[in-house]
Every structure is written in structure tokens, then in C-alpha cells.
Amino acid sequence: MIKVNDLHKSFSGEEILKGIDTEFIQGKTNLIIGQSGAGKTVFLKCLLGLILPTDGTIEYDGKAYSTLNKEQQRELRKKMGMVFQGSALFDSMSVAENVMFPLKMFTKQRKEQRMERVREVLDRVDLLKVDNKFPSEISGGMQKRVAIARAIVNKPQYLFCDEPNSGLDPKTAILIDNLIHEITKENNITTVINTHDMNSVLEIGENIVFLKDGRLEWQGDKSIIYKTDNESLTSFVYSSDLFQKVRKAQLQGL
Ligand SMILES: Nc1ncnc2c1ncn2[C@@H]1O[C@H](COP(=O)(O)OP(=O)(O)OP(=O)(O)O)[C@@H](O)[C@H]1O
């Protein structure tokens, strides 16, 4: 679990995050949603320890990042996996080499051990057959699956995904969502996903954090998001026709 207490972040005196209190639950897909500029990426970067908050604390299973020394921060980072927007694979490395990269960086495992773990995760994301291919030789959906395999190869306790669906067709996007959801359950990971995708909200929104202008405006799961009368949230989600239809059907008990 990740607990966020009164989190503030300013850049050059401009406050972007304005006192966020929330929790991201272990074993669930936690989604951060909100309009462009609401502060989602800044929030995700704070959670990853890539930028330091101006004020407030972030606790990872009871340990506040700000109280950790450099070595403990490094240890914590080893427990984090990240799926970057656009996958961010190394073009000059094969699929298997991409997935092996964190093992080389963070572990002292022998080559055979690393190879075995790489094969295990590639099998999990159904990509064993393309292990020798390069990113340019596989589809965008496959590239995302490689990015997920790379993010989980080190058995992370926390998994962060920045717009994992961007650039994918709706069907592939749902497959990727479901894969992240399944992996979260199988490994009891605290997963936090920054997304614009309303389909993701409907599919895997187990704990949804809605940010507006750097503040937490609403929090709940997909089953109650339909019924909310929070105006900011409904005007945000109503931009999707599909979501409008689903909400209407839900409210009518269909
Ligand atoms: N390093 C920085 N220095 C100054 N301002 C920043 C920095 N990073 C982000 N901001 C500002 O913080 C605000 C929130 O940005 P952020 O990228 O978190 O929004 P977002 O909700 O992720 O938007 P989007 O959905 O478009 O990615 C923006 O006004 C942005 O210009």
C-alpha cells in the first residue's frame, strides 16, 4: 500500500499539487485520472521518487520516503517497476535483452538465472516466440507487453504505468489493461496507472483517484463512478460517449 499525506509540489513558486491525501491499495489497479494539466504526471513522478515533494509525505508500506537514507531509497526503488508512455524500449536491444536490463542493473544473478527469469516473464506475456526480435520488428501492442515484462522482471512490489494504452487500438488497449490487472492480482502488487482512457476506468478501475487542478476531487471505484453527482467528475467522464451510455444503462438497472 502507498499512503499519501498532504502532498504539495511547487515549481518556481507555482503550486501544482495542492495537498493530496490518498491511498493506493495493494493487489488493486489504482487509476489516476483528470484533465490535461491536472498534475497527474507530477504526482506519478513524486510516487516514483523522481521528484521530491515540496511538502507532505509518501509512505510505502509504512515507510516514508523522506525518512530513508540513500541506500534505503535505492532498495525501495528496486521494488518499483515502471511502464513508460510509448514503452521506451531500447531499440538496439532484442526483446529478451530489454527485459533482462533491470536484472543486470539491480541484481547479481548469474546469466543462467537471468535467462530463466526472462523466459518466465516473456512466457507470462505470451512473447517467448519473439525473444530475439528487435522492438522495430514487433507491433505496438507487443512492445507494450515487452515493457510490462521488463517492469515486472524484478518482481516489484509497486508497479507504475504512465498511459499504458496510448497509441493502441481499443481492443489491444483492453488486452493490455487486463494483462496489467491480472499481473497485479497474481503478484499482489500495488499498481498505479496514470490514464486518460475511459475504457480503462470501466474495465479495471478498482480505485480511481480523480485530480482537478492539483487537488483530489473524488475517489472511488468503477461501480460508484456511474452514480456520482460530482459535477467536475461527470463533466470529465461525459466527454466519452461510451461512458455516457454505460452510465445511463447502469442507472436504469440494465
Ligand atoms: N518540471 C516542471 N517545471 C515546471 N512546471 C512543471 C514541471 N512539470 C510539470 N509542470 C507543470 O505542472 C502542471 C501539471 O502538469 P502534469 O504534466 O502533471 O499534468 P497532467 O495532468 O499529467 O497532464 P497530461 O494529461 O496532459 O499529461 C502543468 O501546468 C505543467 O506545466
Helix, strand, coil content of the chain in percent (nearest 5): 45, 25, 30
What does the pLDDT average to over 24-35? 96
Q: List pLDDT tens digits, range 195-254.
A: 988 888 888 999 999 999 999 999 999 888 878 888 888 888 777 677 677 777 877 776
**The pairing of beta strand 158-162 with beta strand 190-194:** parallel
- With a CB cutoff of 8 Å and minimum separation 6, the contacts of 133 are 94, 95
CATH 3.40.50.300 residue ranges of the chain are: 1-79+156-222
C-alpha of residue 23 to centroid of ligand 1, in Å: 22
C-alpha of residue 162 to centroid of ligand 1, in Å: 13
CB-based burial, 158-193: b 16+ in 10 Å, e otherwise: bbbbbbbbeebeeebbbbbbebbbebbeeeebbbbb
**Nearest protein CA to atom 28 of ligand 1, as residue:** 37
Fold for 1-79+156-222, please state it: Rossmann fold (3.40.50)
pLDDT beyond 70 at 185: yes
- Assess whether the C-beta atom of 96 lies below 6 angstroms from ligand 1: no
Under DSSP, the state recorded for 147 is H
**Nearest protein CA to atom 27 of ligand 1, as residue:** 36
**Nearest protein CA to atom 5 of ligand 1, as residue:** 11
> Amino acid identity of 216?
L
Judge if pTM exceeds 0.90. Answer: yes
- What is the C-alpha to C-alpha distance for residues 170 and 241, in angstroms, rounded to an integer? 14
Q: Which residues share a beta bridge with 9?
A: 17
| Residue 170 cell numbers, joined | 481499443
C-alpha of residue 11 to centroid of ligand 1, in Å: 10
The residue with cell 491525501 is 21
C-alpha of residue 16 to centroid of ligand 1, in Å: 8
C-alpha of residue 37 to centroid of ligand 1, in Å: 5
Q: Select from 14, 16, 54 the residue to mutate for testing ligand 1; criterion: most ligand atoms less than 8 Å from CB.
A: 16
More confident call, 18 vs 224: 18
Q: Percent of the chain at pLDDT above 90?
A: 76
- What is the C-alpha to C-alpha distance for residues 203 and 200, in angstroms, rounded to an integer? 5
Maximum Cα interatomic distance, the chain, rounded to a whole number of Å: 58
pLDDT beyond 90 at 92: yes
Helix residue spans in the chain (DSSP H): 40-48, 70-78, 95-106, 111-124, 140-152, 170-187, 198-204, 222-225, 231-237, 241-251
- What is the C-alpha to C-alpha distance for residues 44 and 20, in angstroms, rounded to an integer? 12
ipTM associated with this complex: 0.97
C-alpha of residue 40 to centroid of ligand 1, in Å: 8
- Assess whether the C-beta atom of 36 lies below 6 angstroms from ligand 1: yes
Sheet holding 2-11, edge to edge: 14-24, 2-11, 55-60, 63-64
- What is the C-alpha to C-alpha distance for residues 223 and 124, in angstroms, rounded to an integer? 29
